[in-house]
A and B are shown apart, each in its own frame.
Chain A
């Protein structure tokens, strides 16, 4: 008997993350075929107000664990609370966003409940009565379709931006079920001493709809300003290739590629990036790729949808101006 599709609801600064909304929509589509219920798992302190958003995006039920010990994410607290709930309710499927938090939590929970976990999926589908997961290997240079037929729940982390969130249905309600949390102070071994957030008005790289990225062709740290100006006009995130990071022009957290972040934005604008295999591995799943590079032979043009062969220092500021005009009109 079907036991339900679960979506872990990730939130930050009082807002449900986009990837959670994408997962709720995916969960609803699967539920239509399996006849199961979609439940969202809302963990935190003072977060009950977020339940209505989860309902509007498709949750039939919200399991609410509101507890002082869940106020901050720690692996021990969240993985114990979540695995206790799984063992009590025995869902058939659990989807978690493939974020830093999601990855940390999912692997620990999967081992606690002794099940399989499909990491970093780019697709989930029901085929011949079984759940088939699509996931990249070799940083997206190949993909595998895989199943886990024997264990329950099947767990997967799904990459942000690869599924589409449906429009919310205003006024749609969900049953809120309070979850008892059995945590003792001694269960929690991680102590968070300090949290440092970079103040940025730009979206996070892995969630951004548009990314403006710079490589070796940027020539120096001061020149990133011209990319930032374009990014701000487009509401985009700024990224970088390994060459720029290794040159010390921009922090490592901006790196896109095989040893950096994997991104799937709607638009990736690669400026002065030659397109090494390592870089392409991190961004080739972008829906539209624009390359601006002086070298017409650069490998980036092999994956780009649109290209301008030219000097980025000339082209990018002009592009910023044109976009500004267009968006103002």
Chain B
């Protein structure tokens, strides 16, 4: 089975976010990681390969340093990496990212497309779905369990208040939710092997795209940080008094209960 996995490099989830002198998100000094949801997608691809045989290709569009995250995916066991990196892509939106990734996938043969259901940086949860639409693939989003048989995917997905089991014909897009699996750590052997695996870097022009085609439609006007919260008011007293006083505050001051 040929499996393609879309991945993105993001800020470490523990990163403290600040703004630089130009009011943009400060990127200096922030650790970069594989988007945690994409890590579930990579792991799932590896498990499916172990079960059914085949090949796993990881694909990303991003800055040159994205290669570090992709090397980690190769070290986990992915077979090939394709990174689209181009100065013209800076500031691109979901529409543009999806166009770029769909061009890469259009040149590949695959049976299954996996991705994280959202990235923890922009949280927009659009790119993989847009790619699926561009390629005419069915999708199952926010998946916590997946089996592949007879050219079909059977996936359990989160819905509000429960879950549902959905079947779709392959090729299809499946997006990973936490709970799907526990991603493995790369082994030392894996890390050594990763450096020898095929790693293709592409520019926009090599994909037949130009800067105008990926010009962002969504324009950021400004970034801001959440307003600092007022200092915490500690409710004094032993537990019984404190509980009574808190209850009174929630009723009379905060007017919530």
Q: Which residues of A are interface residues toward B (Cβ below 8 A)?
A: 12, 74-76, 99-101, 103-104, 107-108, 110-112, 114-120, 132, 135-151, 189-198, 200, 204, 206, 210, 234, 252-253, 255, 258-260, 266-267, 276-278, 281, 284-285, 287-291, 301-311, 314-315, 318-319, 321-323, 326-327
Contacts and interface: CB of A to CB of B under 8 A. Distances in A.
A297 B93 CA distance: 41
Interface stretch (B58-66, B162-170, B188-196): B162-170
A277 B217 CA distance: 32
A196 B13 contact: no
B14 interface: yes
Nearest 5 CB-CB pairings of A with B = A318-B243, A197-B162, A107-B129, A111-B133, A189-B138
A190 B161 contact: no
A204 B160 contact: yes
A319 B165 contact: no
A296 B36 CA distance: 31
Interface of B: 11, 13-17, 19, 25, 36-37, 93-95, 98, 120-126, 129-130, 132-134, 138-142, 144, 154, 158-169, 172, 178-179, 217-226, 229-230, 232-235, 239-240, 242-244, 246-251, 254, 256-257
Contact of B167 (A99, A116, A190, A285): A190
Nearest to A324: B247
Nearest to B93: A116
A179 to B, nearest CB: 21
A143 B120 contact: no
A119 B124 contact: yes
B221 A147 contact: yes
Contact of A100 (B132, B134, B160, B247): B160
Given A107-B125, A234-B257, 11 more contacts: A101-B160, A111-B129, A148-B218, A193-B154, A252-B179, A267-B250, A276-B14, A284-B226, A290-B246, A305-B233, A326-B247
Given A141-B17, A142-B25, A111 B223 contact: no
B232 A306 contact: yes
